[in-house]
Chains A and B, each alone.
Chain A
Amino acid sequence: MRSTKTGARAGRAGHAGRAGAVPYLFLAPAMALFTLFMALPIGYTIYLSLRRTRVSGLGLGKGARTEVFAGLANYAAAVGDGELWAGWLRVLGYGALVLALMLGLALVFALMLDTAHVRLARLTRISIFLPYAVPGVAATLMWGFLYLPSLSPLGEHSFLSADLVTFSMANVAVWGGTGFNMLVLYTNLRAVPREYYEAARIDGASELGIALRIKIPILVPSITLTTVFSVIATVQVFTEPTTLRPLTNTISSTWSPLMKVYRDAFVTGDLYSAAATSIVIAGISLVLSFGFLRVVKNHAFGES
């Protein structure tokens, strides 16, 4: 017994030894791509975030401007800047609106399309999905023109006033994103064996009951997934406010955290603090999305 066991172990070890470099060879392309396009740029961003320019005298002429090590000063400035946190607050409000409305509508549409009685299902599905195919900038411009009081066919309402601008922006995101999320949920629903529903009907369940007690519980993992994706997309909101900004004076250049990064890097020309702020933003969005996953993990995936 003992000899066979050690023999087997030896054999296994030998096998692994023979495999040698092969697993690494399989991994190599992925690792190379990761290093080139993820690790290096991130590393460079971190490097930049630790530096700054120092000007001497008037700053005109040769050698008046040098790049020096700044330590964590850029991070201290990024974290200490009230505008960044005010931006987070605005995005949080906007995000809560978008998430609730977009995912809620997506779920309702998916459930409705999945019921047996709906007519023109294909057409409806496509027309709900279609806005997703419109590029964000085009969609925002289109809505932007609808929002301008003097041009809008919607009447003389100031959709871009300080009170309404968040809702107007959320509307663009919901309009564009609902279709995609609906399709994810709907595809999942179609994969559910029909027998479940038959069994439920035989037991006397109504369509609403089936939706609430069978379909939604089955959908929980995909709802979780779409939520995580949407959280990440919302944290990165940039296109809508940036495109609407020239049309109104209610959106500042630092409305969302990413807009502040853009402003620092390309408007005021301070690449270094822009790098530090982006690292801070990346950290926060990681915490947000992983935090959400951790909270819902047990319910969504039945893991312990």
Chain B
Amino acid sequence: MRVNRLALAAVAILTAALSTACSGGSDEPSGEAASQSAAPAGPVKLTYWTWVPNMDKIVAVWNQAHPDIQVTVSKQAGGDDAAAKFLTAAKAGNPPDLVQAEYQMLPSFVAADAVADLKAETAQAKAEFGEGVWGLVTLGTDAVYAVPQDSGPMMLYYRKDLFEKYGIEVPKTWDEYAEAARTVHKKDPKVFLGTFSSKDPGWFAGLSQQAGAQWWSISGDAWRVAVNDEATTKVASYWGGLVKEGVIDGMPYFTPEWNKALNDGKLLTWPSAVWGPGVLSSNAPKAAGKWAVAPLPQWNAGENHSGFWGGSSTAVAAKSPNKAAAATFATWLNTDPQALGLLIKEGAVYPASAKGAALMTEAPDYFSNQPDFWKQAADIGATARGFTFGPNVNVTYNAYRDAFDKAVADKSDFAAAVQGMQDATVADMRKSGFTLAQ
């Protein structure tokens, strides 16, 4: 009896499954027909690849207000993998309509003809952004390849309590930073003032920007590549010397070991970007309220410069059938006050638009001891300088990881590692056929 009943149940389930499958099948053509006949009036459907947390909530607000343009969020992992995935999808002919594009990856997207020119659609939005960040989406050309979303001006995060404990001042110059590193390590050999991460080329690029580096530039119809310029070599040699001396550690950022060192107070500073609080609060929850921010140490006393680490924009795929609608959404997301408010609150994003930065008033919970956190950030942000990214940043960044992995492990010459990055970049561009200026 039991077997029979089981069999019956199985048959019932199968039948149900089959009938729904069939009805699903029969539904589809009619639905398609409907959308085809009503194409001009029906809602435009857009897909959006992003890794901003809670973006679905922000998009829900848009969808509610715009029944004719419906956006679906597809959450991505972020980082280099996301860029590779988008390039592959664009090549295969099925990219999303909208994609979150880190500034340094945008030239690769443009070179692969994967993103659309939004010049006409963004004519009004231009006024909302500073010149520096706008340059990152035009690449110095007449076209506009994305709408800026967030930016990452760099500043120095430091453990206020431990600075007092070890009796050091907040370093104003990199020389003072080096001195502080020696002092701290001498007082407790297990503690370091900071660490040099061979896994984060974006961080190194930001520090080089602060020193005035220009890794790529366009002169006429040719690329000029200067990853090994004087400023970059200076930055590399500075850190290389400290690593060799043993007063700066060589553990990479964002690893379990790094988290532990932050939590245990074994690392006292982190030269990072404005998005740092999110990372610190999740990776080093124990140290809440003990960190503070200051401007990056300067190369020459009295100077006032910073660089950018990270930051991204919203781009529209070249193959999207609904470019105008996608551009409208991208503009709303990054310039509308309501959207900016949501980006700040739900997405923990530091908006690139001037209006958005003005909305940042309440310090992040992790920095409740520093109520002027955002004022500091805005002041520092105004001093940050970037550079044009080239069309093969992925090659340069990969060369950074391999060369500096080795240099840190062997405590060898960091300037040679920079030369390795330059050589790999130039070799790759030459192989592809880019015109290079000498």
On A, residues with C-beta under 8 Å from B are 53-65, 145, 148-151, 161-162, 246-247, 249-254, 263, 266-269
Known: A55-B391, A149-B257, A252-B402. 9 other contacts (CB 8 A): A59-B433, A60-B139, A61-B110, A61-B113, A62-B113, A246-B252, A249-B252, A249-B406, A269-B112
11 contacting pairs across A/B (C-beta < 8 A): A58-B434, A59-B434, A151-B256, A151-B257, A162-B410, A247-B257, A252-B405, A253-B401, A267-B80, A269-B84, A269-B394
Distance of A166 Cα from B428 Cα, bound (Å): 30
| B309 interfacial by beta-carbon distance below 8 Å | no
Asked if A247 and B409 make an inter-chain contact with CB atoms under 8 angstroms apart, the answer reads no
Please give the distance in Å from B417's CB to the nearest CB on chain A.
12
Distance of A246 Cα from B258 Cα, bound (Å): 12
| B84 nearest CB neighbor, chain A only | A266
Interface size class of B (residues with CB under 8 A): 35 or more
Cβ-neighbour of B108 out of A56, A263, A269 (below 8 A): A269
Please give the distance in Å from B74's CB to the nearest CB on chain A.
19
Asked if A267 and B398 make an inter-chain contact with CB atoms under 8 angstroms apart, the answer reads yes
Asked if A55 and B433 make an inter-chain contact with CB atoms under 8 angstroms apart, the answer reads yes
| B407 nearest CB neighbor, chain A only | A249
Asked if A58 and B199 make an inter-chain contact with CB atoms under 8 angstroms apart, the answer reads no
Asked if B435 and A57 make an inter-chain contact with CB atoms under 8 angstroms apart, the answer reads yes
**Which B residues, 383 to 438, have Cβ-Cβ distances below 8 Å to chain A?**
391-392, 394-395, 398, 401-402, 404-406, 408-410, 428, 432-435
**Which B residues, 242 to 262, have Cβ-Cβ distances below 8 Å to chain A?**
250, 252, 254-257, 260-261
Distance of A161 Cα from B111 Cα, bound (Å): 39
Asked if B395 and A59 make an inter-chain contact with CB atoms under 8 angstroms apart, the answer reads no
Distance of A54 Cα from B261 Cα, bound (Å): 47
Please give the distance in Å from A48's CB to the nearest CB on chain B.
12
Asked if A55 and B405 make an inter-chain contact with CB atoms under 8 angstroms apart, the answer reads no
| A145 nearest CB neighbor, chain B only | B256
Distance of A265 Cα from B257 Cα, bound (Å): 30
| B198 interfacial by beta-carbon distance below 8 Å | yes
Cβ-neighbour of B111 out of A65, A162, A247, A253 (below 8 A): A65
Asked if B112 and A151 make an inter-chain contact with CB atoms under 8 angstroms apart, the answer reads no
Asked if A252 and B406 make an inter-chain contact with CB atoms under 8 angstroms apart, the answer reads yes
Chain B residues within 8 Å of A252, by CB: 402, 405-406
Distance of A162 Cα from B256 Cα, bound (Å): 19
Chain A residues within 8 Å of B125, by CB: none
Asked if A249 and B199 make an inter-chain contact with CB atoms under 8 angstroms apart, the answer reads yes
Chain A residues within 8 Å of B107, by CB: 60
Given the interface pairs A58-B434, A247-B256, the reply to whether A268 lies near B409 with Cβ below 8 Å is no
Please give the distance in Å from A8's CB to the nearest CB on chain B.
55
Asked if B87 and A269 make an inter-chain contact with CB atoms under 8 angstroms apart, the answer reads yes
Please give the distance in Å from A71's CB to the nearest CB on chain B.
14
Asked if B394 and A268 make an inter-chain contact with CB atoms under 8 angstroms apart, the answer reads yes
| B258 nearest CB neighbor, chain A only | A150
| B410 nearest CB neighbor, chain A only | A162
Distance of A266 Cα from B139 Cα, bound (Å): 24
| B223 interfacial by beta-carbon distance below 8 Å | yes
Distance of A58 Cα from B404 Cα, bound (Å): 29
Chain B residues within 8 Å of A56, by CB: 433, 435
| B141 interfacial by beta-carbon distance below 8 Å | yes
| B218 interfacial by beta-carbon distance below 8 Å | yes
| B27 interfacial by beta-carbon distance below 8 Å | no
Please give the distance in Å from A69's CB to the nearest CB on chain B.
14
Given the interface pairs A60-B141, A246-B199, the reply to whether A268 lies near B392 with Cβ below 8 Å is yes
| B318 nearest CB neighbor, chain A only | A62
Cβ-neighbour of A54 out of B256, B401, B432 (below 8 A): B432
| B223 nearest CB neighbor, chain A only | A58
Given the interface pairs A151-B260, A269-B84, the reply to whether A249 lies near B433 with Cβ below 8 Å is no
Chain A residues within 8 Å of B221, by CB: 57-58
Asked if A60 and B111 make an inter-chain contact with CB atoms under 8 angstroms apart, the answer reads yes
Please give the distance in Å from A32's CB to the nearest CB on chain B.
24
Please give the distance in Å from B368's CB to the nearest CB on chain A.
28
Asked if B402 and A53 make an inter-chain contact with CB atoms under 8 angstroms apart, the answer reads no
Chain B residues within 8 Å of A162, by CB: 409-410
Please give the distance in Å from A262's CB to the nearest CB on chain B.
10
Please give the distance in Å from A156's CB to the nearest CB on chain B.
10
Given the interface pairs A58-B222, A151-B260, the reply to whether A268 lies near B398 with Cβ below 8 Å is yes
Distance of A225 Cα from B2 Cα, bound (Å): 47
Chain A residues within 8 Å of B18, by CB: none
| A263 nearest CB neighbor, chain B only | B398
Asked if B110 and A60 make an inter-chain contact with CB atoms under 8 angstroms apart, the answer reads yes
**Which B residues, 239 to 291, have Cβ-Cβ distances below 8 Å to chain A?**
250, 252, 254-257, 260-261
| B403 nearest CB neighbor, chain A only | A252
| B428 nearest CB neighbor, chain A only | A268
| B143 interfacial by beta-carbon distance below 8 Å | yes
**Which B residues, 195 to 236, have Cβ-Cβ distances below 8 Å to chain A?**
198-199, 218, 221-223
| B198, B428, B433, most chain A CB atoms within 10 A | B433
Distance of A162 Cα from B223 Cα, bound (Å): 38
Please give the distance in Å from B101's CB to the nearest CB on chain A.
15
Asked if A267 and B199 make an inter-chain contact with CB atoms under 8 angstroms apart, the answer reads no
Distance of A56 Cα from B436 Cα, bound (Å): 11
Cβ-neighbour of A249 out of B112, B198, B394 (below 8 A): B198
Chain B residues within 8 Å of A253, by CB: 398, 401-402
Chain A residues within 8 Å of B434, by CB: 55, 57-59
Distance of A227 Cα from B328 Cα, bound (Å): 61
Binary contact readout B101-122 vs A (1 if CB under 8 angstroms, 0 otherwise): 0000001101111000000000
Chain B residues within 8 Å of A58, by CB: 218, 221-223, 391, 434-435
| A54 nearest CB neighbor, chain B only | B433
Chain A residues within 8 Å of B428, by CB: 268
Asked if A247 and B218 make an inter-chain contact with CB atoms under 8 angstroms apart, the answer reads no
Asked if B408 and A55 make an inter-chain contact with CB atoms under 8 angstroms apart, the answer reads no
Chain A residues within 8 Å of B81, by CB: 266
Chain A residues within 8 Å of B432, by CB: 53-55, 59
Given the interface pairs A58-B218, A58-B435, the reply to whether A150 lies near B257 with Cβ below 8 Å is yes
Distance of A253 Cα from B198 Cα, bound (Å): 12
| A64, A263, A269, most chain B CB atoms within 10 A | A269
- Interface pairs A-B: 3 shortest CB-CB: A249-B405, A55-B433, A266-B84
